[in-house]
Structure 1
Protein backbone atom coordinates (compact mmCIF):
# COMPACT_ATOMS: atom_id res chain seq x y z
CA UNK A 1 0.00 0.00 0.00
CA UNK A 2 1.44 3.43 -0.91
CA UNK A 3 2.86 5.48 1.91
CA UNK A 4 0.45 8.36 1.17
CA UNK A 5 -2.54 6.06 1.88
CA UNK A 6 -1.00 4.97 5.17
CA UNK A 7 -0.71 8.62 6.19
CA UNK A 8 -4.41 9.16 5.45
CA UNK A 9 -5.40 6.21 7.66
CA UNK A 10 -2.83 6.62 10.40
CA UNK A 11 -1.81 10.28 10.57
CA UNK A 12 1.46 10.91 12.29
CA UNK A 13 0.99 11.95 15.93
CA UNK A 14 1.40 15.62 16.77
CA UNK A 15 3.68 16.46 19.63
CA UNK A 16 1.78 18.23 22.43
CA UNK A 17 3.34 20.68 24.81
CA UNK A 18 2.98 20.03 28.56
CA UNK A 19 0.44 22.87 28.76
CA UNK A 20 -1.68 21.33 25.97
CA UNK A 21 -1.54 17.93 27.63
CA UNK A 22 -2.66 19.44 30.95
CA UNK A 23 -5.52 21.26 29.23
CA UNK A 24 -6.62 18.07 27.47
CA UNK A 25 -6.62 16.23 30.81
CA UNK A 26 -8.76 18.94 32.41
CA UNK A 27 -11.23 18.85 29.53
CA UNK A 28 -11.45 15.07 29.85
CA UNK A 29 -12.18 15.49 33.57
CA UNK A 30 -14.93 18.03 32.81
CA UNK A 31 -16.46 15.67 30.22
CA UNK A 32 -16.52 12.91 32.82
CA UNK A 33 -18.18 15.23 35.36
CA UNK A 34 -20.73 16.33 32.76
CA UNK A 35 -21.70 12.71 32.20
CA UNK A 36 -22.18 12.21 35.94
CA UNK A 37 -24.17 15.43 36.30
CA UNK A 38 -26.42 14.47 33.39
CA UNK A 39 -27.13 11.06 34.88
CA UNK A 40 -27.93 12.56 38.29
CA UNK A 41 -30.10 15.33 36.83
CA UNK A 42 -32.16 12.89 34.78
CA UNK A 43 -32.54 10.69 37.84
CA UNK A 44 -33.73 13.71 39.84
CA UNK A 45 -36.29 14.57 37.16
CA UNK A 46 -37.68 11.05 37.31
CA UNK A 47 -38.01 11.23 41.10
CA UNK A 48 -39.57 14.70 40.92
CA UNK A 49 -42.28 13.34 38.63
CA UNK A 50 -43.18 10.86 41.37
CA UNK A 51 -43.19 13.45 44.14
CA UNK A 52 -46.45 14.95 42.84
CA UNK A 53 -48.15 11.65 43.58
CA UNK A 54 -46.55 11.20 47.01
CA UNK A 55 -48.73 11.23 50.09
CA UNK A 56 -47.05 14.30 51.60
CA UNK A 57 -47.55 16.47 48.52
CA UNK A 58 -50.21 19.22 48.70
CA UNK A 59 -53.62 18.05 47.54
CA UNK A 60 -56.93 19.62 46.71
CA UNK A 61 -57.15 23.28 45.69
CA UNK A 62 -53.53 24.24 46.34
CA UNK A 63 -50.87 24.61 43.67
CA UNK A 64 -48.03 22.10 43.86
CA UNK A 65 -45.49 24.38 45.48
CA UNK A 66 -43.79 23.75 48.81
CA UNK A 67 -41.94 26.99 49.62
CA UNK A 68 -41.07 25.62 53.06
CA UNK A 69 -39.44 22.51 51.59
CA UNK A 70 -37.60 24.56 48.95
CA UNK A 71 -36.32 26.92 51.64
CA UNK A 72 -35.07 24.03 53.79
CA UNK A 73 -33.28 22.32 50.91
CA UNK A 74 -31.74 25.56 49.60
CA UNK A 75 -30.50 26.51 53.07
CA UNK A 76 -28.93 23.06 53.44
CA UNK A 77 -27.25 23.28 50.02
CA UNK A 78 -25.94 26.80 50.57
CA UNK A 79 -24.58 25.87 54.00
CA UNK A 80 -22.23 23.48 52.20
CA UNK A 81 -21.32 25.92 49.44
CA UNK A 82 -18.13 27.96 49.26
CA UNK A 83 -18.88 31.68 49.66
CA UNK A 84 -17.58 32.53 46.18
CA UNK A 85 -19.95 29.95 44.64
CA UNK A 86 -23.17 30.84 46.50
CA UNK A 87 -24.73 32.97 43.76
CA UNK A 88 -23.98 30.39 41.06
CA UNK A 89 -25.22 27.47 43.18
CA UNK A 90 -28.48 29.20 44.13
CA UNK A 91 -29.19 30.15 40.52
CA UNK A 92 -28.44 26.63 39.27
CA UNK A 93 -30.48 25.03 42.06
CA UNK A 94 -33.51 27.19 41.21
CA UNK A 95 -33.32 26.00 37.61
CA UNK A 96 -33.06 22.36 38.69
CA UNK A 97 -36.08 22.68 40.98
CA UNK A 98 -38.04 24.52 38.29
CA UNK A 99 -37.56 21.73 35.79
CA UNK A 100 -38.46 19.21 38.48
CA UNK A 101 -41.72 21.03 39.15
CA UNK A 102 -42.41 21.06 35.42
CA UNK A 103 -42.58 17.25 35.54
CA UNK A 104 -45.58 17.66 37.84
CA UNK A 105 -47.16 20.24 35.56
CA UNK A 106 -45.59 23.33 34.00
CA UNK A 107 -45.76 26.27 36.39
CA UNK A 108 -47.70 29.23 35.00
CA UNK A 109 -46.85 32.73 36.20
CA UNK A 110 -48.56 36.03 35.43
CA UNK A 111 -46.54 39.20 36.10
CA UNK A 112 -47.98 42.67 36.65
CA UNK A 113 -45.37 45.40 37.06
CA UNK A 114 -46.11 48.63 35.17
CA UNK A 115 -43.14 50.59 36.55
CA UNK A 116 -40.21 48.13 36.56
CA UNK A 117 -41.35 45.12 34.51
CA UNK A 118 -37.81 43.87 33.82
CA UNK A 119 -36.93 43.81 37.49
CA UNK A 120 -40.08 41.86 38.39
CA UNK A 121 -39.56 39.44 35.50
CA UNK A 122 -35.94 38.86 36.46
CA UNK A 123 -36.91 38.09 40.06
CA UNK A 124 -39.71 35.77 38.98
CA UNK A 125 -37.51 34.01 36.42
CA UNK A 126 -34.80 33.41 38.99
CA UNK A 127 -37.39 32.11 41.47
CA UNK A 128 -39.36 29.79 39.17
CA UNK A 129 -36.70 28.94 36.59
CA UNK A 130 -36.69 28.82 32.80
CA UNK A 131 -39.25 26.00 32.83
CA UNK A 132 -42.01 28.36 34.01
CA UNK A 133 -44.51 29.75 31.52
CA UNK A 134 -44.39 33.48 32.31
CA UNK A 135 -46.74 36.11 30.88
CA UNK A 136 -47.01 39.86 31.37
CA UNK A 137 -50.52 41.11 32.21
CA UNK A 138 -52.10 44.56 32.42
CA UNK A 139 -54.71 44.00 35.12
CA UNK A 140 -53.66 42.93 38.64
CA UNK A 141 -57.24 42.06 39.61
CA UNK A 142 -57.56 39.72 36.64
CA UNK A 143 -54.25 38.10 37.64
CA UNK A 144 -55.54 37.62 41.20
CA UNK A 145 -58.76 36.05 39.92
CA UNK A 146 -56.73 33.74 37.67
CA UNK A 147 -54.49 32.71 40.58
CA UNK A 148 -57.51 32.21 42.88
CA UNK A 149 -58.94 29.79 40.33
CA UNK A 150 -55.79 27.69 40.76
CA UNK A 151 -54.27 28.24 37.30
CA UNK A 152 -50.89 29.34 38.63
CA UNK A 153 -49.23 32.12 40.61
CA UNK A 154 -49.21 35.89 40.18
CA UNK A 155 -46.24 38.18 40.70
CA UNK A 156 -47.53 41.69 41.41
CA UNK A 157 -45.69 44.95 41.97
CA UNK A 158 -46.29 46.94 45.14
CA UNK A 159 -46.28 50.72 45.35
CA UNK A 160 -47.15 50.83 41.66
CA UNK A 161 -50.47 52.68 41.70
CA UNK A 162 -52.72 49.77 42.69
CA UNK A 163 -53.86 48.56 46.10
CA UNK A 164 -54.51 45.03 44.78
CA UNK A 165 -53.15 43.65 48.07
CA UNK A 166 -56.32 44.78 49.89
CA UNK A 167 -58.06 41.90 48.14
CA UNK A 168 -55.97 39.43 50.13
CA UNK A 169 -58.16 40.34 53.11
CA UNK A 170 -61.35 40.31 51.06
CA UNK A 171 -62.33 38.55 47.83
CA UNK A 172 -58.93 36.88 47.34
CA UNK A 173 -58.48 35.53 50.87
CA UNK A 174 -57.79 32.06 49.45
CA UNK A 175 -54.46 33.40 48.14
CA UNK A 176 -51.26 33.70 50.17
CA UNK A 177 -48.08 35.68 49.64
CA UNK A 178 -45.16 33.25 49.56
CA UNK A 179 -42.20 35.19 48.15
CA UNK A 180 -40.89 38.67 47.45
CA UNK A 181 -38.55 40.12 44.83
CA UNK A 182 -36.45 43.25 44.67
CA UNK A 183 -34.21 43.07 47.71
CA UNK A 184 -34.63 43.47 51.46
CA UNK A 185 -37.68 45.67 50.82
CA UNK A 186 -39.60 43.78 48.10
CA UNK A 187 -40.94 45.68 45.12
CA UNK A 188 -43.07 42.73 43.97
CA UNK A 189 -44.80 39.84 45.74
CA UNK A 190 -45.68 36.34 44.57
CA UNK A 191 -49.16 35.11 45.50
CA UNK A 192 -50.94 31.83 44.89
CA UNK A 193 -53.18 29.16 46.39
CA UNK A 194 -50.45 27.87 48.67
CA UNK A 195 -51.16 25.44 51.47
CA UNK A 196 -50.68 27.64 54.60
CA UNK A 197 -48.69 24.82 56.19
CA UNK A 198 -46.24 25.02 53.27
CA UNK A 199 -45.39 28.72 53.58
CA UNK A 200 -41.73 29.62 54.16
CA UNK A 201 -40.41 30.33 57.61
CA UNK A 202 -39.69 34.02 57.35
CA UNK A 203 -41.12 37.51 57.63
CA UNK A 204 -44.90 37.67 57.75
CA UNK A 205 -46.84 39.84 55.32
CA UNK A 206 -49.61 41.88 56.96
CA UNK A 207 -52.54 43.83 55.55
CA UNK A 208 -54.26 45.86 58.26
CA UNK A 209 -55.55 49.28 59.27
CA UNK A 210 -52.89 51.62 60.56
CA UNK A 211 -49.22 52.40 60.02
CA UNK A 212 -46.01 50.45 60.23
CA UNK A 213 -44.80 51.72 63.61
CA UNK A 214 -45.31 48.36 65.29
CA UNK A 215 -47.80 46.28 67.17
CA UNK A 216 -47.06 47.43 70.71
CA UNK A 217 -44.95 44.36 71.48
CA UNK A 218 -41.62 45.83 70.43
CA UNK A 219 -41.73 44.23 66.98
CA UNK A 220 -41.47 46.85 64.28
CA UNK A 221 -43.14 46.54 60.91
CA UNK A 222 -41.67 47.60 57.59
CA UNK A 223 -44.23 49.34 55.41
CA UNK A 224 -44.44 48.44 51.72
CA UNK A 225 -47.54 50.38 50.61
CA UNK A 226 -50.53 52.28 51.97
CA UNK A 227 -54.05 52.97 50.73
CA UNK A 228 -56.98 54.74 52.41
CA UNK A 229 -55.74 54.00 55.92
CA UNK A 230 -54.70 50.43 55.15
CA UNK A 231 -51.05 49.31 55.20
CA UNK A 232 -49.15 46.49 53.54
CA UNK A 233 -46.15 45.64 55.71
CA UNK A 234 -43.65 43.02 56.87
CA UNK A 235 -42.97 41.86 60.40
CA UNK A 236 -40.69 39.36 62.09
CA UNK A 237 -43.49 38.34 64.44
CA UNK A 238 -44.62 34.73 64.02
CA UNK A 239 -48.28 35.14 63.12
CA UNK A 240 -50.86 32.65 61.80
CA UNK A 241 -52.13 33.25 58.29
CA UNK A 242 -55.72 34.45 58.26
CA UNK A 243 -55.67 35.49 61.92
CA UNK A 244 -56.94 38.67 63.47
CA UNK A 245 -53.58 40.37 62.91
CA UNK A 246 -54.16 40.43 59.16
CA UNK A 247 -51.35 38.07 58.16
CA UNK A 248 -51.74 37.14 54.48
CA UNK A 249 -48.56 35.12 53.93
CA UNK A 250 -44.82 34.97 54.46
CA UNK A 251 -41.59 35.43 52.53
CA UNK A 252 -38.33 33.61 53.21
Structure 2
Protein backbone atom coordinates (compact mmCIF):
# COMPACT_ATOMS: atom_id res chain seq x y z
CA UNK A 1 0.00 0.00 0.00
CA UNK A 2 1.40 3.39 -0.98
CA UNK A 3 2.47 6.02 1.54
CA UNK A 4 0.12 8.54 -0.11
CA UNK A 5 -2.79 6.43 1.14
CA UNK A 6 -1.41 5.57 4.57
CA UNK A 7 -0.16 8.97 5.70
CA UNK A 8 -3.53 10.81 5.69
CA UNK A 9 -5.04 7.97 7.76
CA UNK A 10 -2.11 7.49 10.16
CA UNK A 11 -0.12 10.76 9.88
CA UNK A 12 1.77 10.16 13.11
CA UNK A 13 3.09 6.72 12.16
CA UNK A 14 5.80 5.39 9.90
CA UNK A 15 4.16 3.08 7.34
CA UNK A 16 7.06 0.69 7.65
CA UNK A 17 6.24 0.18 11.34
CA UNK A 18 2.52 -0.46 10.89
CA UNK A 19 1.02 -3.85 11.73
CA UNK A 20 -1.08 -5.82 9.21
CA UNK A 21 -4.20 -4.85 11.18
CA UNK A 22 -3.35 -1.16 10.99
CA UNK A 23 -2.66 -1.52 7.27
CA UNK A 24 -6.07 -3.15 6.74
CA UNK A 25 -7.83 -0.46 8.79
CA UNK A 26 -6.04 2.27 6.87
CA UNK A 27 -7.22 0.74 3.59
CA UNK A 28 -10.84 0.68 4.79
CA UNK A 29 -10.66 4.26 6.01
CA UNK A 30 -9.19 5.36 2.70
CA UNK A 31 -12.07 3.63 0.90
CA UNK A 32 -14.55 5.51 3.11
CA UNK A 33 -12.79 8.80 2.32
CA UNK A 34 -13.17 8.16 -1.41
CA UNK A 35 -16.87 7.34 -0.98
CA UNK A 36 -17.36 10.48 1.12
CA UNK A 37 -15.83 12.57 -1.67
CA UNK A 38 -18.25 11.06 -4.19
CA UNK A 39 -21.24 11.53 -1.88
CA UNK A 40 -20.33 15.16 -1.26
CA UNK A 41 -20.08 15.92 -4.97
CA UNK A 42 -23.40 14.21 -5.71
CA UNK A 43 -25.16 15.85 -2.76
CA UNK A 44 -24.06 19.32 -3.80
CA UNK A 45 -25.16 18.63 -7.36
CA UNK A 46 -28.55 17.48 -6.07
CA UNK A 47 -28.94 20.66 -4.03
CA UNK A 48 -28.17 22.78 -7.08
CA UNK A 49 -30.81 20.94 -9.12
CA UNK A 50 -33.34 21.23 -6.26
CA UNK A 51 -32.90 25.00 -6.33
CA UNK A 52 -33.81 24.99 -10.03
CA UNK A 53 -36.88 22.83 -9.37
CA UNK A 54 -38.39 25.66 -7.32
CA UNK A 55 -38.32 27.83 -10.42
CA UNK A 56 -39.69 25.18 -12.77
CA UNK A 57 -43.03 25.81 -14.44
CA UNK A 58 -44.71 22.76 -12.90
CA UNK A 59 -43.77 23.70 -9.32
CA UNK A 60 -46.60 24.86 -7.03
CA UNK A 61 -46.93 28.62 -6.94
CA UNK A 62 -49.34 31.28 -5.79
CA UNK A 63 -50.83 30.67 -2.33
CA UNK A 64 -49.54 27.11 -1.96
CA UNK A 65 -46.39 26.10 -0.13
CA UNK A 66 -43.43 24.62 -2.00
CA UNK A 67 -44.08 21.20 -0.46
CA UNK A 68 -44.85 18.34 -2.84
CA UNK A 69 -45.82 15.42 -0.58
CA UNK A 70 -46.71 13.29 -3.59
CA UNK A 71 -43.23 13.68 -5.09
CA UNK A 72 -41.56 13.06 -1.73
CA UNK A 73 -43.65 9.91 -1.33
CA UNK A 74 -42.60 8.68 -4.78
CA UNK A 75 -38.91 9.38 -4.17
CA UNK A 76 -38.87 7.75 -0.74
CA UNK A 77 -40.87 4.69 -1.85
CA UNK A 78 -38.52 4.14 -4.78
CA UNK A 79 -35.41 4.40 -2.61
CA UNK A 80 -36.75 2.18 0.18
CA UNK A 81 -37.78 -0.48 -2.34
CA UNK A 82 -34.14 -0.66 -3.46
CA UNK A 83 -32.63 -0.60 0.04
CA UNK A 84 -31.42 -3.68 1.88
CA UNK A 85 -34.12 -4.77 4.35
CA UNK A 86 -31.85 -4.33 7.36
CA UNK A 87 -30.93 -0.79 6.29
CA UNK A 88 -34.39 0.62 5.55
CA UNK A 89 -34.58 2.75 8.71
CA UNK A 90 -31.14 4.27 8.09
CA UNK A 91 -31.91 4.93 4.42
CA UNK A 92 -35.25 6.58 5.26
CA UNK A 93 -33.60 8.88 7.81
CA UNK A 94 -30.88 9.85 5.35
CA UNK A 95 -33.32 10.53 2.52
CA UNK A 96 -35.59 12.60 4.73
CA UNK A 97 -32.59 14.83 5.42
CA UNK A 98 -31.59 14.97 1.76
CA UNK A 99 -35.11 15.93 0.68
CA UNK A 100 -35.35 18.47 3.50
CA UNK A 101 -32.13 20.22 2.51
CA UNK A 102 -33.22 20.17 -1.12
CA UNK A 103 -36.46 21.90 -0.16
CA UNK A 104 -34.44 24.44 1.85
CA UNK A 105 -32.81 25.60 -1.38
CA UNK A 106 -36.19 27.14 -2.19
CA UNK A 107 -36.45 28.79 1.25
CA UNK A 108 -36.30 27.44 4.80
CA UNK A 109 -39.46 25.61 5.81
CA UNK A 110 -41.15 26.94 8.96
CA UNK A 111 -43.01 24.38 11.09
CA UNK A 112 -45.21 25.25 14.08
CA UNK A 113 -45.94 22.34 16.43
CA UNK A 114 -48.80 22.29 18.93
CA UNK A 115 -49.00 19.25 21.20
CA UNK A 116 -50.03 19.75 24.85
CA UNK A 117 -50.03 15.95 25.29
CA UNK A 118 -46.71 14.18 24.70
CA UNK A 119 -45.06 17.15 22.93
CA UNK A 120 -41.75 15.30 22.49
CA UNK A 121 -43.35 12.72 20.22
CA UNK A 122 -44.95 15.40 18.03
CA UNK A 123 -41.74 17.42 17.84
CA UNK A 124 -39.63 14.35 17.03
CA UNK A 125 -42.17 13.30 14.39
CA UNK A 126 -41.92 16.72 12.77
CA UNK A 127 -38.12 16.66 12.92
CA UNK A 128 -37.99 13.23 11.34
CA UNK A 129 -40.46 14.23 8.63
CA UNK A 130 -39.00 17.61 7.66
CA UNK A 131 -35.34 17.17 8.64
CA UNK A 132 -32.86 19.42 10.41
CA UNK A 133 -33.03 21.98 7.59
CA UNK A 134 -36.52 23.03 8.74
CA UNK A 135 -37.11 25.60 11.47
CA UNK A 136 -39.38 23.85 13.98
CA UNK A 137 -40.84 25.52 17.05
CA UNK A 138 -43.43 24.62 19.66
CA UNK A 139 -46.43 26.94 19.98
CA UNK A 140 -49.18 27.24 22.60
CA UNK A 141 -52.18 28.07 20.44
CA UNK A 142 -53.51 25.67 17.76
CA UNK A 143 -55.55 28.41 16.11
CA UNK A 144 -52.45 30.59 15.76
CA UNK A 145 -50.62 27.62 14.21
CA UNK A 146 -53.46 27.13 11.74
CA UNK A 147 -53.48 30.83 10.88
CA UNK A 148 -49.74 30.66 10.26
CA UNK A 149 -50.18 27.69 7.92
CA UNK A 150 -53.07 29.43 6.13
CA UNK A 151 -50.72 32.27 5.18
CA UNK A 152 -48.74 29.78 3.09
CA UNK A 153 -45.42 30.61 4.76
CA UNK A 154 -45.09 27.23 6.49
CA UNK A 155 -46.97 24.28 7.93
CA UNK A 156 -48.47 23.26 11.25
CA UNK A 157 -48.23 19.96 13.12
CA UNK A 158 -51.08 19.58 15.62
CA UNK A 159 -51.93 16.84 18.08
CA UNK A 160 -55.29 15.12 17.74
CA UNK A 161 -55.21 13.23 21.05
CA UNK A 162 -56.43 16.30 22.97
CA UNK A 163 -59.69 17.92 24.09
CA UNK A 164 -59.25 20.81 21.64
CA UNK A 165 -61.31 20.16 18.47
CA UNK A 166 -59.15 22.38 16.23
CA UNK A 167 -59.66 19.90 13.39
CA UNK A 168 -63.35 20.82 13.06
CA UNK A 169 -62.16 24.11 11.59
CA UNK A 170 -60.71 22.27 8.59
CA UNK A 171 -64.30 22.07 7.30
CA UNK A 172 -65.07 25.70 8.09
CA UNK A 173 -62.59 28.39 9.14
CA UNK A 174 -59.51 26.72 7.63
CA UNK A 175 -60.95 25.09 4.51
CA UNK A 176 -57.95 26.29 2.48
CA UNK A 177 -55.71 23.93 4.46
CA UNK A 178 -55.15 20.23 3.84
CA UNK A 179 -53.82 17.42 6.01
CA UNK A 180 -50.84 15.85 4.23
CA UNK A 181 -49.14 13.63 6.81
CA UNK A 182 -49.55 12.03 10.22
CA UNK A 183 -47.17 11.09 13.01
CA UNK A 184 -47.48 8.54 15.78
CA UNK A 185 -46.34 5.11 16.77
CA UNK A 186 -45.02 2.87 14.00
CA UNK A 187 -47.90 0.97 12.46
CA UNK A 188 -50.44 2.80 14.62
CA UNK A 189 -52.89 5.60 14.15
CA UNK A 190 -51.44 9.12 14.06
CA UNK A 191 -51.44 11.15 17.26
CA UNK A 192 -50.72 14.38 15.35
CA UNK A 193 -51.36 15.65 11.83
CA UNK A 194 -49.38 17.89 9.49
CA UNK A 195 -51.48 20.65 7.91
CA UNK A 196 -50.57 23.14 5.21
CA UNK A 197 -51.73 25.12 2.21
CA UNK A 198 -50.88 22.28 -0.15
CA UNK A 199 -51.65 22.13 -3.85
CA UNK A 200 -54.48 19.51 -3.94
CA UNK A 201 -52.73 17.77 -6.83
CA UNK A 202 -49.66 17.33 -4.62
CA UNK A 203 -51.32 15.37 -1.80
CA UNK A 204 -49.86 11.90 -1.16
CA UNK A 205 -51.55 8.64 -2.08
CA UNK A 206 -52.92 6.96 1.01
CA UNK A 207 -55.76 7.03 3.50
CA UNK A 208 -58.06 10.00 3.28
CA UNK A 209 -58.57 12.20 6.34
CA UNK A 210 -62.20 13.16 6.89
CA UNK A 211 -64.10 15.44 9.25
CA UNK A 212 -67.77 14.44 9.33
CA UNK A 213 -70.91 15.00 11.33
CA UNK A 214 -71.66 11.62 12.87
CA UNK A 215 -69.78 8.50 13.90
CA UNK A 216 -66.88 6.59 12.36
CA UNK A 217 -68.67 3.37 11.50
CA UNK A 218 -68.46 4.00 7.75
CA UNK A 219 -70.98 4.85 5.11
CA UNK A 220 -71.94 1.36 4.05
CA UNK A 221 -69.87 1.59 0.89
CA UNK A 222 -67.34 -0.99 2.07
CA UNK A 223 -64.51 1.44 2.91
CA UNK A 224 -63.15 1.08 6.44
CA UNK A 225 -62.83 4.00 8.83
CA UNK A 226 -60.59 4.56 11.84
CA UNK A 227 -61.76 7.19 14.30
CA UNK A 228 -59.13 9.58 15.68
CA UNK A 229 -61.26 11.96 17.77
CA UNK A 230 -64.82 13.17 18.31
CA UNK A 231 -66.43 16.42 19.48
CA UNK A 232 -70.12 17.28 19.86
CA UNK A 233 -71.22 15.06 16.99
CA UNK A 234 -68.17 15.75 14.79
CA UNK A 235 -65.71 12.96 13.99
CA UNK A 236 -62.12 13.04 12.77
CA UNK A 237 -61.24 9.79 11.04
CA UNK A 238 -59.17 8.00 8.43
CA UNK A 239 -60.76 6.05 5.60
CA UNK A 240 -59.64 3.80 2.78
CA UNK A 241 -62.14 5.50 0.47
CA UNK A 242 -60.56 7.51 -2.35
CA UNK A 243 -61.98 10.97 -1.79
CA UNK A 244 -61.27 14.47 -3.06
CA UNK A 245 -60.54 17.25 -0.54
CA UNK A 246 -63.49 19.59 -0.18
CA UNK A 247 -66.09 17.14 -1.42
CA UNK A 248 -69.36 16.26 0.29
CA UNK A 249 -67.82 13.37 2.25
CA UNK A 250 -65.82 15.79 4.38
CA UNK A 251 -62.35 14.94 3.06
CA UNK A 252 -59.71 17.37 4.38
CA UNK A 253 -56.56 15.65 3.10
CA UNK A 254 -54.64 12.39 2.93
CA UNK A 255 -51.69 10.74 4.62
CA UNK A 256 -49.33 8.21 3.08
TM-score range normalised by the length of the shorter chain: over 0.9
- Pair 1:239-2:239 in alignment: no
Of residues 169, 179, 188 in structure 2, which corresponds to 1:177?
179
Task: After TM superposition, give the deviation of residue 138 of structure 1 in Å.
Answer: 0.4
Which of 47, 53, 56 in structure 2 is aligned with 1:54? 56
Q: Whole-Å Cα distance in 1 between the matches of residues 93 and 122 of structure 2? A: 16
Where does residue 126 of structure 2 map in the other structure? Answer: 124
After TM superposition, give the deviation of residue 15 of structure 1 in Å.
Answer: 2.1
TM-score by length of 1: 0.94
Match of 2:162 in 1: 160
1:193 pairs with 176, 191, 197, which one?
A: 197
Q: Give me the whole-angstrom Cα distance separating, in 2, the residues matched to 1:94 and 1:136.
A: 21
Instruction: Measure the CA separation in 1 of the matches of 2:176 and 2:137.
Output: 22
Displacement of 1:169 after TM fit?
A: 0.1
For 2:166 and 2:15, locate their aligned partners in 1 and report how far apart those are by CA, in whole Å.
71
Deviations along 1:193-220, one digit per CA (max 9) or x if unpaired, are 0000000000000000111111111212
2:152 alignment partner in structure 1: 150
Counterparts in 2 of 1:47 and 1:127: CA distance versus 1, 3 Å:
same
Question: Alpha carbon RMSD of aligned pairs, Å?
Answer: 1.0
Task: Determine the C-alpha separation between the residues in 1 that align with 2:14 and 2:176.
Answer: 73
Match of 1:75? Answer: 77
Aligned partner of 1:88 in structure 2 is 90
**Greater CA radius of gyration, 1 or 2?**
1
Q: Structure 2 residue aligned with 1:101, among 79, 100, 103?
A: 103
Q: Is the 8 A contact 2:110 2:135 kept in 1?
A: yes
5+ long unaligned stretches in structure 1: 1-10
Question: TM-score, structure 2 length as denominator?
Answer: 0.93
CA contact 2:100–2:131 (8 Å) conserved in 1: yes
Which moves more between the two structures, 16-25 or 57-66?
16-25
Runs (5+) with no aligned partner, structure 2: 1-12
Could you tell me which residue of structure 2 aligns to residue 216 of structure 1?
A: 220
Contact 2:117 2:161 in 1 (8 A): no
